[in-house]
């Protein structure tokens, strides 16, 4: 291979055929070499451009991956939030169903007729309920403030009430006897007003005697 530029210094005989062939081949080789160098330079530039483009694309892909990752995180958070809302609504629905079931049970129970045992219990409770007002008050006070003073006071009130009831019974009995005596002793032609006056007088006399 003849380096470029070496042919200018050659002094060859143009009449020689072999020399002409060498010169032609040298020119062709020089031209081929120049084209090869130019092609290599072009390819090198193209490779540099492709490398730059590839780098840009890789950066873009990485950026898109980061953006997608962020979007995926946001989407996952949104899905998680929706799941939590669904769980809360489901729990609330279950609680409402339970409450409704309890209400239905109470309604059905209230509509049911009392059993024989319940009737006996109600009857027993009614019988054991005290009719004495002082006894009721004593029990209520004892339940609210069960101290010795209240119990003593309630017992005294109960005894006083019992005494009063006993006196009323005796008075009613005496009144009936008085009316009977007045009826037996009154004249046959006495008026109703006079009869009532006699009864009152007789009752007053007995009250005075009883009080003494």
For residue range 75-133, what is the model confidence (pLDDT) as tens digits? Answer: 888 888 888 888 888 898 888 888 888 888 888 877 766 666 666 666 655 545 555 55
A 10 A CB-CB count for 175 gives: 15
pLDDT of 149: 64
pLDDT of 22: 86
CA distance 30 to 4: 6
Its pTM stands at 0.29
pLDDT of 9: 44
For residue range 1-52, what is the model confidence (pLDDT) as tens digits? Answer: 444 544 444 444 444 567 788 888 888 899 989 999 999 999 999 999 999 9
């Amino acid at each position: 291979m003849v380096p470029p530029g070496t042919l200018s210094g050659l002094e060859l005989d143009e009449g020689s055929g072999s020399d002409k062939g060498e010169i032609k081949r040298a020119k062709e080789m020089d031209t081929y070499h120049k084209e090869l160098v130019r092609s290599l330079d072009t390819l090198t530039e193209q490779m540099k451009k492709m490398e730059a483009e590839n780098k840009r694309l890789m950066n873009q892909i990485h950026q898109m991956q980061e953006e997608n990752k962020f979007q995926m995180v946001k989407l996952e958070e949104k899905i998680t939030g929706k799941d939590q809302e669904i769980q809360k609504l489901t729990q609330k629905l279950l609680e409402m169903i339970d409450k409704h079931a309890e209400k239905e049970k109470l309604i059905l129970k209230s509509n049911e007729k009392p059993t024989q045992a319940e009737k006996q219990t109600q009857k027993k409770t009614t019988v054991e309920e005290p009719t004495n007002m002082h006894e009721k008050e004593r029990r209520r006070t004892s339940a609210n403030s069960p101290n010795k003073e209240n119990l003593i006071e309630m017992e005294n009130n109960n005894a006083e009430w019992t005494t009063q009831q006993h006196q009323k019974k005796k008075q009613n009995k005496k009144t009936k006897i008085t009316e009977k005596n007045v009826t037996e002793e009154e004249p046959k032609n006495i008026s109703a007003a006079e009869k009532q006056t006699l009864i009152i007088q007789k009752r007053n006399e007995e009250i005075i005697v009883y009080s003494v």
